[in-house]
Every structure is written in C-alpha cells, then in structure tokens.
C-alpha cells in the first residue's frame, strides 16, 4: 500500500494542501474506479499540533514510523515554525526520498526548510519570490537555480510559493498519474476559473470512464 504522507507541524498553513489531499484521499476523479491514495499525517511525535487556522491535528504516525517504501508522495506545507531544529528528521527523510527517486512537494515555508538543508542548491526550484530564500535562509546557495515561476517541477521535486496550492495539486496528480489527462485538465480549469463549462467537461470525462 502506498500513501500520501503529509508532515504536520504547529502553525502549518492548513489551506495550502487542501486541494491535493482531498483529491488523493477521496479518489473521486481517479482514472481507476474505486481506487484512492490514502493520506497519512506525519508528526515529529504523536502529540497534537495546531494549524494556523486553529484546527487541531493528531498525527497518524511519527517520522520514524514512516516508510520510504510506502511513500507515493511527501507533502510539506508552509508554517512559521520550520526553523525549529526538531523538524530535522523529516528533512532528512525528504532528502532520502529525493535521493531514491520518490516524489516530494514543498510549498511556501517548506521551501525555506529545504533551502536551509542545501536541497535546493543544485536544482531548479521556486518559492515566494526572488530574494525570499536569500532573506530567510542564510545557508542558501541555490540562487543560480531559482526560477521566478509560480511552480517548478524538477524530476521528483515540486516547489511553489504560498499562492500555489492549486498548481501544486495539479503537478502532484500529474506526476502520480492517477487522473486521466483530460480529467486533470478539466478539473484544473474549473477550479482555477469557476467556469461551469469546465465542470461539465469534468463530469463528462468521468462518464467516459464509467
């Protein structure tokens, strides 16, 4: 069984991963009917955390209990507490996943955590804007590889800024190949525009599947 692992930490920006976790966990638009990619929350411990929006999350497992072999994707949210040294274990796990070809997606503040550990020094990436990583990460040496784009996918690493939640979902879903191409296109077009034409197109792709 493969899982979508979500690292949870105090002050996490709870809205940033909502698009992708809802689609992976529910499987409602998956090309294989009845399938899904269960979401499991990972914490530094199993103590509850409080999100930026005031919600309490009880982690399903600790970093030590997370298996690289069962990871379909590791999702790293933004938060105001990434600078705390207690989060080093998940960053070490992220590096292990990247080194073994597994998918890692980081948004907003999580990109600063990767930058601080040197994981963005030698590969294309983005964040909250030019200069942001230099300002927030004294150890960052990757400015030559920074791309001023809304989202950057480099092999098995996806990075985006705080406004990139929907884009991140699209890229993760595409990399995992769980939607049909036309389903993903219609899904993204609908939620990025609100145009009902795209909703009907989305529903039509599901009728073709059934």
pLDDT in tens, 153-167: 999 999 999 999 999
Same domain assignment for residues 187 and 170: no
Active-site residue, from 74, 108, 119, 152: 108
Same domain assignment for residues 41 and 111: yes
Same domain assignment for residues 38 and 86: yes
Which residues of the chain are under the pLDDT cut of 70? 208-210
Same domain assignment for residues 101 and 189: no
Catalytic-residue membership of 108: yes
Same domain assignment for residues 186 and 86: no
* Residue 171: predicted pLDDT: 98
| Neighbouring C-beta atoms of residue 114, cutoff 10 Å | 28
Short-list 82, 66, 72, 38, CA closest to 156: 72
Same domain assignment for residues 110 and 204: no
Percent of the chain with pLDDT over 90: 96
* Residue 207: predicted pLDDT: 85
Question: What is the number of domains present in the chain?
Answer: 2
Same domain assignment for residues 153 and 195: no
Do residues 123 and 106 touch, judged by C-beta distance below 8 A? no
* Residue 138: predicted pLDDT: 87
> Could you tell me the CATH number of the domain that includes residue 54?
3.40.50.880
The average confidence (pLDDT) of the chain is 96
Alpha carbons 44 and 87: distance in angstroms, whole number: 7
Same domain assignment for residues 67 and 121: yes
Q: Domain range spanning residue 189? A: 180-210
Kindly list the distances between the CA atom of residue 7 and the CA atoms of 68, 76, 122, 140, 208, in Å, as whole numbers in the listed order: 14, 6, 24, 22, 35
Same domain assignment for residues 131 and 160: yes
Same domain assignment for residues 103 and 207: no
Same domain assignment for residues 150 and 188: no
Same domain assignment for residues 161 and 188: no
Give the largest Cα separation in the chain, rounded: 53
| Strand bridging mode 39-43 / 49-50 | unpaired
């Amino acid at each position: 069984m493969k899982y979508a692992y979500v690292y949870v930490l105090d002050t996490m920006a709870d809205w940033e991963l909502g698009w992708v976790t809802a689609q992976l966990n529910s499987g409602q638009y998956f090309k294989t009917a009845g399938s899904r990619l269960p979401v499991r929350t990972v914490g530094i411990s199993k103590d509850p955390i409080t999100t930026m929006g005031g919600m309490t999350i009880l982690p399903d497992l600790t970093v030590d209990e997370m298996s690289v072999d069962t990871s379909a994707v590791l999702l790293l949210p933004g938060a105001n507490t990434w600078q705390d040294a207690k989060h080093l274990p998940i960053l070490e796990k992220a590096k292990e996943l990247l080194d073994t070809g597994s998918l890692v997606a980081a948004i907003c503040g999580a990109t600063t955590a990767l930058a601080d550990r040197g994981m963005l020094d030698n590969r294309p990436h983005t964040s909250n804007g030019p200069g942001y990583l230099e300002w927030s990460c004294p150890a960052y040496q990757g400015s030559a590889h920074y791309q001023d784009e809304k989202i950057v996918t480099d092999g098995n690493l996806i990075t985006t800024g705080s406004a990139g939640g929907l884009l991140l979902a699209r890229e993760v879903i595409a990399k995992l190949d769980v939607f049909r191409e036309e389903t993903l296109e219609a899904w993204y077009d609908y939620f990025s525009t609100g145009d009902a034409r795209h909703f009907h197109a989305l529903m039509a792709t599901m009728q073709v599947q059934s």
